[in-house]
Amino acid sequence: MLNDVEKCLISREQIAEKVALLGQQISEDYRGKDLIVVGILKGAVVFLSDLIREISIPLYIDFMAVSSYGSSTESSGVVRILNDLDMSIEGMHVLIVEDIVDTGLTLKYLVENLKNRKAASVKVCTLLEKPARRKVKVDLDYNGFVIPDEFAVGYGLDYNNKYRSLPGIYVLKKEIYSS
């Protein structure tokens, strides 16, 4: 897999350091509150599993799978829920855990959708954001890294369902995307 990589954007060590900081901050902010961490499948799975082990307060975990219509590298803004939460979030403090915010369209839809379910609060924790491509404003309450306008893979993020298990964040060689 590393043969397909052009460059490393963020190393596994940098990620581990940042995830520990985010976990500490979240633990302080949500102390004494009913926290539910909602992971967005599949990209956020690796981030979520590291993050929850850095959070020192009790929490619930649930997942949603969504698909945004569009090509493999471009989101369209039309979001469909493929797999919904198992738990009711009424009265709970919801923290959405996302892999990356690009146009912001997926997250905007998710925040509004979860707020409508009478959650006490809905906040967002994303590992990566690409401000250059933002189309809608979404508040990112916890944000790991800002990255340039490049298609990132690794640490849960895929290209055509591959590369999720790479330990850091990488950009692939041009010929991989065009083949």
Task: Give the tokens for residue 11.
Answer: 């190393």
Taking CB under 6 A as the rule, does residue 43 contact ligand 5GP? yes
Task: Give, as one character, the DSSP assignment of residue 4.
Answer: G
Q: How far is the CB of 170 from ligand 5GP (least distance, A)?
A: 10
Our CB check for ligand 5GP shows the closer of 36 and 152 to be 152
Q: Which of 4, 50, 102, 158 is catalytic?
A: 102
Can 4 be counted among the known catalytic residues?
Answer: no
Site for ligand 5GP in 50-109 (CB under 6 A): 68, 75, 98-107
Question: By 3-state DSSP, what share of the chain in percent is helix, strand and coil, each rounded to 5?
Answer: 25, 35, 40
Q: Which is nearer to ligand 5GP, 50 or 98 (CB)?
A: 98
CA–CA separation, 5 and 171 (whole Å): 6
Among 152, 166, 172, 176, binds ligand 5GP (CB under 6 A): 152
Is there a contact between 137 and 112 (Cβ–Cβ < 8 Å)?
no
**Which residues in the 109-148 window bind ligand 5GP by CB under 6 A?**
none
CA distances from 28 to 35, 100, 133, 150 (A): 12, 24, 31, 33
Choice between 46 and 92, CB closer to ligand 5GP = 46
Which residues lie across from 82 on neighbouring strands?
none
Overall residue count recorded for the chain in this entry: 179
Q: List residues with catalytic annotation.
A: 102
Interface residues with ligand 5GP (CB under 6 A)? 43, 68, 75, 98-107, 151-153, 157-159
